[in-house]
Structure 1
Amino acid sequence: MFANIPEVKLGIIAVSRDCFPIALSTQRRQNIVSAYGEGLYECPITVENEADALKALDDVKAHGVNALVVFLGNFGPETPETILCQKFDGPTMYVAAAEGDGDMINGRGDAYCGVLNCSYNLGMRHLKAYLPEYPVGTAQECADMIREFVPIARAIIGVKNLKIITFGPRPQDFFACNAPIKGLYELGVEVEENSELDLLVAYKAHAGDKRIPEVVADMQKEMGERTYPDLLERMAQFELTLLDWAEQHKGARQYVAFADKCWPAFPEQFGFEPCYVNSRLASRGIPVACEVDIYGALSEYIGACITGDAITLLDINNSVPQYIYDEDIAGKFDYDIKDTFMGFHCGNTPSCKMCDGCAVKYQLIQNRLLENGGTPDFTRGTLEGDIAPGAITFYRLQCDSEGNLRSYIAQGEVLPVATRSFGGIGVFAIPEMGRFYRHVLIQKRYPHHGAVAFAHCGKALFEVLKYFGVSDIAYNQPKSLPYPTENPFQ
């Protein structure tokens, strides 16, 4: 696991209503632990009352537990079981025992009923907890549900302990990346906003850093000859600048993400484009969002926590030309042309998520703008090539102009289709993307940036966003389920 991502230490506490046999909850808890295997700490205290709850909490804290499973082995005591959530400093999950492992007189636990009262009491206390879609199961089913809780808990812990560090204001005419930070504070995220000059001063202070040769060697190992040798020291110096800034400025937080202004002033002043360095940090679980996209950085970080893998941030960029669709997609993949689009950024996607042959190149658009289309100099430094095919989840958590958190999630894939284009780019396919593009992305005024996780992780993402209180979680709805703004007379 990345050093910038939390390590989840699970613990389970069983609760028992005192008019039911305590042995029922205790044995059922033991069965779950046996079914789960290593990695689940079993609290030996079965909670019947408030005093038990406090003792159990002291026990799990002493054993380093940072994500708690409360198990209703029978009906459960309403006050103690909700106090566990109230006083535990971390995400809490509730699961309950299905019947069938004993007789239906002395061996019936009624946990199916107990979950209803538990949920009611959590609501009265305004407590957040994770409950699976169907939170009642056998020992093996509960163990499986607990495994699904791990990435959810990891994201919750990470966001709670996250600081997003920014450099510079949003670029002109990129107002879509400018969103109220109110939503960050509501989620418990800290933000530190700095000037580009602060970053430039810190960068210059790293000139001659004795660690530069080691970073250069690592870049050479990663890219071989597919880079500009004369840029490596400058890029290594910048990488060390960001890593040191993160360590020195995270303050009371444990984890960091960046949102940096990368144009138009950056390349000329620093002498290169920052994209390749940004990709290297992203490959280590430290997102660096382009164009000071704070919510893009947050979205990326959540995805990194859930998947434990590298992520990226891309523009929902351009349509797939008809000739590419006809040559490489039609008849080979079950997608309409409107289901496809190209995701692009200048070169921030980690090399581990790119096709073989990706290389450090120059930013064509910036070269036109800043170097009059001449021989590239300071516009070099992007990581370019086609993005590797495979499963993806395209998603974003955003604070709208009125300060409300909203989000979308869409699962799909990167197709094994050559883009014939520049930048870090891929041909994406998402079922019903055309309708999703119109009635979610456009209709709800989302910016052009979307986070990309390289796996189908929509289920965990949905639960994390729901836990954070995001009520508007959009997705790519099938044709059988029209959007509210979709014209029914097409």
Structure 2
Amino acid sequence: MKTTLGLIVGNRSFFPAHLAQSGRAEMLRVLAEEGFDVVALGPEDTLYGSVVTMNDVEKCAALFKQRQSEIDGVLITLPNFGEEKAIANALRLSGLDVPVLVHAFPDDLAKMSIADRRDSFCGKMSTCNNLSQYGIPYTLTSQHTMAPTSAAFRRDLQRFAATCRIVRGLRNARIGVIGARPAAFNTVRFSEKLLEFAGISVETLDLSEVFGQISRLPDTDPRVVAKRDEVAGYVSTRGVPAEALTKMAKLGVVIDEWMAANRLVGTAVQCWTSMEQYFGVVPCTIMSMLSNRLLPSACETDAGGLLAMYALQLASGRPSALVDWNNNYGEDPDKCVLFHCSNLPKDLFAPGAAMDYQAIIAGTVGKENAYGTVVGRLKAAPFTYCRVSTDDLRGEITSYVGEGELTDDPLSTFGGVAVAHIPELQTLLAYICEMGLEHHVAINPAQVGGAVAEAFDKYLGWEVYHHDA
């Protein structure tokens, strides 16, 4: 997941210009080491590739406009005080609407003469002041001034890159909803109009269309044969009837082709209980395989859960899962059990995950119609949890996010399960209940809560409760 940053090098005429030259070179070197592509003025364009005059501003803005489709975010670096108006004007004239990171070089106490003193410490405040006046949102580094080569700044860069990926990915995202909301699941209601207003389009596909397309697929169709082999190779299918595997394969072919035709980044699928009663399998394995391929798939037409999965995936580059906040864990107030039937992606499981039947739903539709879950224990790992919802009455997209640990505490139960440790869990649970939020939550085995919260709040304008803040 390579990220491309537009780079603005600050400079000011009566400050040491050689600092802009060396600072630009140092920053470009660090960005290359951290895996970024860069769009920046060169020394052939302006003095040391910095932005000072209105002529520099116009050159920078024109370059950013020309490369707009490539740029995920902008890094402003201040090797000296910098010309704050020029920086703000360059951003305004470029027309870019991307995250902005403001960085300032630290002064060296051994180099405080007129020839070498930076004053970036002060200049950063002036740059931020002007960006605020221009209505341009921006991100700060974890310390006011930082050496680009420091480990802390490199972490800031990677966190900022995650924020950039979330913002780019969610703006103009296209998601698919397959089937109708199950009648019993009022909890997953959402507003398509609020999502559309935020740039997120929802494409729908009725289950009757899915089943109709499946009915026209012979078992010997090469696409079905290939998908059946893929299903059989995904996890152990011991004891699963061959007929069920073929049904799953056909479902997978139809969903794959619909997603490709509509350029969808993820799906939310009706399961309970139409899929089992009228088709004869659960869709969990196909959904697990999609999520594992970084095409997140959420249960019960939960579009908000899907968007949370997608945001976490954009931040970390790893598959996300959708789970239930499901059980207390003994008497520990900061631990709980996370559960789903499950369609969790294979990459999150400890060794031993296997295909099975959905034990809860089998009591209603029969075991023979409930094959296709992926069950096992999730690996112990740091993780981030996230929820996105639409508040129709207030016309807002709302969210919460936080971090914790998936533990290896003992647990004997069924489905796809994990024990989670979350500091101040009772406060979080009270917030969820007080706000009337859903029982589904997205999880991802990486700690990216800060990047998600900043993307949602500062750059997308969504309401965020950041539990760790």
User: Quick one: which of 111, 120, 127 aligns to 1:111?
Assistant: 120
For 1:144-223, what aligned pairs fall within 5 Å after superposition? Answer: 144-207=155-218, 208-223=220-235
Q: For residues 104 and 298 of structure 1, do their structure 2 counterparts lie closer, same or farther at Cα, with a shift above 3 Å needed?
A: farther
The answer as to 2:75 corresponding to 1:66 is no
**Match for residue 3 of structure 2 among 4, 8, 30:** 8
Q: 1:225 offset after TM fit, Å?
A: 4.1
Provide the rounded CA distance (Å) in 2 between the counterparts of 1:415 and 1:457.
Answer: 18
Partner residue, 2:445: 454
Letter of the 1:56 counterpart: C
- Asked if the contact 1:182/1:403 (under 8 Å) is kept, the reply is no
Are residues 339 and 196 of structure 1, via their aligned partners in 2, closer, same or farther at CA, if it must alter by over 3 Å?
Answer: same
Structure 1 residues 9 and 36 mapped into 2: Cα distance closer, same or farther (>3 Å)?
closer
Equivalent residue, structure 1, for 2:82: 76
Match of 2:46 in 1: none
- What is the CA RMSD across the aligned residues, in angstroms? 2.5
Q: Give matches, 1:245-256, under 5 Å.
A: 245-250=258-263, 256=265
Instruction: Count residues with an aligned counterpart.
Output: 449
Could you say which residue in structure 2 is the equivalent of 1:419? 411
Distance 1:138 1:259 in 2: 44
For 1:260 and 1:13, the matched residues in 2 are separated by 44
Residue equivalent to 1:122: 131
Unaligned runs of 5+ in 2: 43-48
Distance 1:444 1:476, change over 3 A: farther
Q: Taking structure 1 as reference, are residues 348 and 91 closer, same or farther at Cα in structure 2, changes over 3 Å only?
A: same
Q: In the alignment, what sits opposite 1:342?
A: 337
Q: Secondary structure at the match of 1:136?
A: coil
Farther off after superposition, 157-166 or 43-52: 43-52
Q: 1:391 aligns with which of 369, 379, 382?
A: 382
Give the whole-Å Cα distance in 1 for the aligned partners of 2:417 and 2:391: 27
Question: Is the aligned partner of 1:436 residue 2:428?
Answer: yes
Q: How does 1:11-22 map to 2 (within 5 A)?
A: 11-22=6-17
1:445 — aligned with what? Answer: 436
- Equivalent position of 2:356 in the other structure: 361
Q: Distance in 2 between matches of 1:202 and 1:136?
A: 59
Distance 1:88 1:225, change over 3 A: same
Contact 2:294–2:318 at 8 Å: present in 1 too?
yes
Work out which of the residue numbers 56, 61, 74 in structure 1 matches 2:60. 56
Structure 1 residue 453, shift from structure 2 partner: 0.9
Superposed displacement of residue 280, structure 1: 0.6
Give the deviation of 1:177 after TM superposition.
0.8
Paired letter, 2:17 = I
Within 1, Cα distance between the matches of 2:14 and 2:197?
41
Describe how 1:22-101 pairs up with structure 2 within 5 A: 22-38=17-33, 39-40=35-36, 41=38, 43=40, 44=42, 45-59=49-63, 61-62=66-67, 64-86=70-92, 87-88=95-96, 90-100=98-108
**Secondary structure in 2 matching 1:165:** strand
Q: 1:123 to 1:232 in 2, by over 3 A?
A: same
Q: Alpha carbons of 1:114 and 1:203: their partners in 2 closer, same or farther (altered >3 Å)?
A: farther
- CA distance change for structure 1 residues 378 and 431 in 2, over 3 Å: closer, same or farther? same
**Residues of 2 paired with 1:466 and 1:29: CA distance?**
30
Amino acid at match of 1:257: G
Structure 1: 5+ residue stretches without partners: 2-6, 323-335, 478-490
Match 2:286 to one of 277, 283, 296 = 277
Q: What is the Cα deviation at residue 443 of structure 1?
A: 1.4
Does the 8 Å CA contact 2:142/2:156 hold for their aligned counterparts? no
Alpha-carbon contact 1:180-1:403 (below 8 Å) kept: no
Cα contact 2:176–2:203 (8 A) shared by 1: yes
Say whether residues 1:264 and 2:273 are aligned partners: yes
CA gap 1:351/1:418 in 2 versus in 1, 3 angstroms: farther
Higher alpha-carbon deviation: 106-115 or 23-32: 106-115
Contact 1:160 1:188 in 2 (8 A): yes
SS at match of 1:292: coil
List aligned pairs for 1:373-392, cutoff 5 A.
376-392=367-383
8 Å CA contact retained: 2:401, 2:464: no
